[in-house]
Amino acid sequence: MSYKKYSIGFLVVALAISCAKNPFTGKNTLALVSNSEILPSAFQQYNQFLTENKVITGTPDAKKVENVATKIRVAAERWLNANGQAGYLADYQWEYKLVESKEVNAWCMPGGKIVVYSGILPITKDDAGLATVLGHEVSHALANHGQQRMSAGLLQQLGAAGVGVAVGTKSQETQQMAMTAYGLTTQYGGMLPFSRNHESEADRIGLTLMAIAGYNPDQAVTFWERMSANSAGQAPPEFMSTHPSDATRIAQIKELIPAAKAEAAKFGVIFK
């Protein structure tokens, strides 16, 4: 059997045994790297980050971050319990930190390790705005998006190796052209759309979580309009970005709000 055929066969087997259905997305997701490998590394990186940055504690803003994040976590637990997935978060180690930075950002590492930068608070403004951000970031972890991106990266590397083998006997110029074409095709036709889809998934799940937590998902539109105004003219064209454009995102969120409210109503949360 040739190396090329062996690589393809290995890939087929790997894909067949490494997909798991995610309760939040309802999809079979790629998992070439296990959470038993990812989570300890994520926890270590999170702790290292905290030692290298100024963590804000004891302030009203720090307490707000912890309170809102806790409500989002409880909403996720309630949803999982109601859908027969009570053990899904068994390996999570939730932690919520406000970090001093002018950067307008927040993130959640695999396993529930959350950071909110102080620079985003003037844009979140209130609890509902913060719930929009935290619901979105937590949803990345709940949907195992980090695991999927790592797995996709491994597949991209394997594909590059296959291209290298296929053109290995060609001229240096042909090899370089083939690798460049492969890189551009997988980046713009695969990896970036893959990432944008994750952002849209996180928006959808996050809206549901914030609604179950008692925050009106209508406020998510207001928050993203503020974000759009803050970043006007700074974003690249959508096809070159890891994120949907602000206009696309806001339009999608408006379409998703009724479903989020309907899901929250199952938990007794009603919005006028």
Q: Read off the pLDDT of residues 22-35 as tens digits, 9 standing for 90 and up.
A: 888 887 776 667 77
**Do the domain assignments include residue 271?**
no
**Do the domain assignments include residue 272?**
no
6 vs 62, higher pLDDT = 62
Q: Looking at the predicted structure, is the pLDDT value of residue 226 above 70?
A: yes
**Do the domain assignments include residue 14?**
yes
Q: Side-chain half-sphere of 24: how many Cα atoms within 13 Å?
A: 29
Q: Looking at the predicted structure, is the pLDDT value of residue 135 above 50?
A: yes
Catalytic residues: 137
Mean pLDDT of 167-188: 62
Q: 49-82, pLDDT tens digit by residue?
A: 999 999 999 999 999 999 999 999 999 999 999 9
173 vs 51, higher pLDDT = 51
pLDDT given for residue 36 in this prediction: 77
Mean pLDDT of 87-104: 94
Total-model pTM: 0.77
**Do the domain assignments include residue 166?**
yes
Mean pLDDT of 75-90: 94
pLDDT given for residue 189 in this prediction: 52
Q: Looking at the predicted structure, is the pLDDT value of residue 171 above 90?
A: no
**Do the domain assignments include residue 182?**
yes
Cα angle 246, 248, 252 (rounded to 5 degrees) comes to 115
**Do the domain assignments include residue 71?**
yes
Q: What is the dihedral of CA 21, 22, 28, 31, to 10 degrees?
A: -100
Q: How many domains does the chain have?
A: 1
In whole angstroms, what is the distance from residue 230 CA to residue 218 CA?
19
**Do the domain assignments include residue 90?**
yes
80 vs 169, higher pLDDT = 80
pLDDT given for residue 32 in this prediction: 67
Q: How far apart are the first and last CA of the chain?
A: 65
pLDDT given for residue 31 in this prediction: 63
The token pair at 238 is: 């959508």
pLDDT given for residue 230 in this prediction: 87
DSSP letter, residue 236: P
Q: Side-chain half-sphere of 265: how many Cα atoms within 13 Å?
A: 9
The domain containing residue 51 runs over which residues? 3-265
* Residue reference for tokens 């996180």: 202
Confidence category of residue 185, pLDDT binned at 50, 70, 90: low
**Do the domain assignments include residue 116?**
yes
Q: Cβ distance 253 to 203 under 8 Å?
A: yes
Element (H, E) at 212: helix 192-212
192 conformational bin, left if phi > 0, alpha if psi -120 to 50, beta if neither: alpha
Q: 239-271, pLDDT tens digit by residue?
A: 344 556 788 889 999 999 999 999 999 999 999
